[in-house]
Structure 1
Amino acid sequence: MAEQNSTHDFETSLNNMEPNMNIPSDPPEPSLSEQTTPQKTASNSELSSSAPRSIVGDIISNRSKKSSFPTSSPIFNNEKKAAQRNRTRQSRRETSTLQKRGGLDAMEKFIMESEQRDEMENLNLQAMNHSIPFDHITTLEEEQREQIELEDDDLLQFIEHREEYERELEQLLSEFSVT
C-alpha cells in the first residue's frame, strides 16, 4: 500500500509540473535584475559545490581545464594535434626515403646522370633525323668527282692552249707597239 501511495504521489507531481519548469540538470537562468559584480562573482569550484550540477557546466569546466579558451571546440584541439602528427609523420617518411635513396648527394648524382643520359638520347635522335642517308651521300660524292674531273679536263685543256694564247697575245702587242 505504501508503494501505491508513493507511485500515486509521483504521478500526481508529474501531472502538476509546469512545462517550462527548470530541471536540475539545466544551467541556472540568469535573472535580469542580477548584475555581475565583483562581490557576487564566484569561482567555478564554489558554483559547482553550491549550485546543482549541470551537463553544460561540466562540459565548460572540463574545457576550461584543458585549454585557455573554455568555450573552444574540443574538435579544434584534436584537429590541431592530428595535423601536427601528420606533419611529424610526413617528416619522418621523407627522412626515411632520403636515407633509403642514399642521401642528397647520391640523389643529386642520380638525377644529373639521368638528365645527361636523356639529353644524349635526345641528341642521338635529332642526329638520326637530320643525318643524310648513306645512298644519298654516295650519289653526291660521285657527282662531285665527275664535276672535279670535268674541271680538271678544262684546266688541262687551258694549260695546253696557254702557250698558244701567249703567242697570240705577244703578236697582238707587237703589232700595236710597231704602229
Structure 2
Amino acid sequence: MIGNLDFLTPKGHDQASEFQELESPEGELHLRFFATSRDEFALPATGIKEVISLPPDRITPIPNVSPLLLGTLNVRGRVIWVADLGQFLGELSPLSTDRSEISVIAIEDQDAMLGLAVDRIVGMDWLNVDEVQMPTNAPDGMVPFLRGEWVLDTEELKFLRLLDQIAILRSARWAA
C-alpha cells in the first residue's frame, strides 16, 4: 500500500499531469521599476535591502542638503536618506510627491544604506545577465551608474537599464 501511488490520485487522472516539473528560472532575479515615467531600470535583488511604499509625509525634509535628497526616513529605528533617483540620473524635473504613496527601494553596501525614490515598481523578473549589452544611447551623466542594458524594442528604442547600486551609493554627487 505504501509503495502504491495510486491512492494519491483520483481514478482516471494521469499522474504525470498532476506532478508537473517545476521550471527552473534562467538568469538572476532583478527588481524592475521606472525611475521616471519613461525610463525603465533594474537592480539585482541581492543588492536590495527592501522595497517600501509610503505616504510622502513620512519622508522628513532636511534643509541645506543636496537637492537630489528628498529627506530622511525612519525604517524600524534606522534612519536612511531618501534620494530622487530620476534626478540623480539626470532627469531635469523632480519626482512628483503629489500622490498618495511613493515607492522607495532601499539599497545597502556594508554599513551604508540609501533609499531610492522611484516613479513606480514593475515587479520582480528573472533576467539573463549574459544578454546585457554596453549602453548605446544612455545620457553621459547616467553611464557611470550602469552595468549595461537589455534591448527591449529596437524600433521604439526601449531599453531596460541595469543599475550598479554600489556606484550609486559611493557617488560623489551626494556631496553636491
Instruction: State if a TM-score over 0.5 links the two structures.
Output: no
TM-score bracket relative to the smaller structure: under 0.3
Higher RCO (CA-CA < 8 Å; seq separation 6+): 2
Structure with greater strand share of residues: 2
Largest Rg, 1 or 2: 1
Using structure 1 for the length normalisation, give the TM-score: 0.17
Structure with greater helix share of residues: 1
